[in-house]
Structure 1
């Protein structure tokens, strides 16, 4: 079996595969996560190992190597006199993720920081336009977003990523892309009833009518972060208060 077929078997969830001595529970955990489930806690560390092991093997076979350049991330940060960070905002549709990201970026930009907002809807216009909203496609959408955010951090930018990212396992995989201290998870909590009131597009109404399948908060679950780096409740707190908490955490992390 080639490494490509091994990779397909792991993610299909239809076969039990043991790779390089790794127990098949690792592969089942990955498949479960991509199907919208939650991987067993005991399997999380092993999942990352199996996934990385497969990809390293696949890349080696095709001579895929990371290209380094003469200008490093530290060089870029030194030139602009501040570090880079990935700020990941997660929450229900209508919780205010994009609004907070945009306002936080404005404040940071005015403070002389290099920033960029990576918005979930915007990515689906281009990079992720081939993806739907099945559990597998959602997982791939978040994977791509995480990789893009990592490139922004390498470029020395403070990137504010606003994605529903409903599953803890997918968010954990994104966090694992970054070095310690380079990633801030922001949980934008909000009562679903308030989210629905804010919904000018009528998505909640259409989802309740069965016109939209796999809609987070209605027909698809949202798994809130257990230990977010920053917690804001956009249904109870003002926009300014929420933005201020995010910006303060970013500036503190840059020190």
Structure 2
């Protein structure tokens, strides 16, 4: 089986593409699971903050959940920001992992801002609603140097990116056996 490790800034389309591709895979008879960082932040990772160490632990815990699904012969779509190249490479070391970068210009993400997070991250420091340590604004996001697929989510349609990702997964299934 295969685990797709998404990486990309907040709002770049990780969850949307994971859910779209999940539907396509299910329609075609594949077992698939979405392991979403936003969901696990509320459960097995709720004790973690946003320091570099906590972010790495968050990704490792989510990856361990994904690895259990892979062991159960399930395709995994791991939807998490995963901002650090060394951690992405640590996970890439597993033969069943592929890294997909959802590349979207920051100014487009700020314009989109579906959750209103960028607006809160850019508030003045004294504002009690300001989000501190926000990836891409006040915290680091290391652009991936090692990826298996790049989706340009600010210039490709959702449908195009979904189909591109679906075919990438199908093509890679035989390589991970």
- List gaps (5 residues or longer) in structure 2: none
The answer to whether the 8 A contact 2:8-2:83 is kept is yes
The answer to whether the 8 A contact 1:100-1:243 is kept is yes
Equivalent of residue 122 in structure 2, options 186, 208, 218: 208
Which has the larger share of strand? 2
Deviant stretches of 4+, over 6 Å = none
Distance in 1 separating the partners of 2:63 and 2:163 = 24
Q: Which residue of 2 aligns with 1:229?
A: 148
Q: Which residue of 2 aligns with 1:124?
A: 41
- The TM-score, its normalising length taken from structure 1, stands at 0.64
- The TM-score, its normalising length taken from structure 2, stands at 0.92
Equivalent of residue 187 in structure 1, options 94, 98, 101: 101
Q: Which residue of 1 aligns with 2:138?
A: 219
1:18-167, aligned counterparts within 5 Å? 84-167=1-84
Distance in 2 separating the partners of 1:132 and 1:113 = 35
| CA-CA distance at 1:200 after TM superposition | 2.7
Equivalent of residue 240 in structure 1, options 145, 159, 171: 159
| CA-CA distance at 1:199 after TM superposition | 1.4
Distance in 2 separating the partners of 1:155 and 1:201 = 33
The answer to whether the 8 A contact 1:189-1:232 is kept is yes
Q: Which residue of 2 aligns with 1:253?
A: 172
| CA-CA distance at 1:253 after TM superposition | 1.4
Distance in 1 separating the partners of 2:114 and 2:99 = 26
- List gaps (5 residues or longer) in structure 1: 1-83
Distance in 2 separating the partners of 1:198 and 1:185 = 24
Distance in 2 separating the partners of 1:226 and 1:170 = 12
Greater shift after overlay, 200-209 or 105-114? 200-209
Q: Which has the larger radius of gyration?
A: 1
The answer to whether the 8 A contact 1:142-1:174 is kept is no
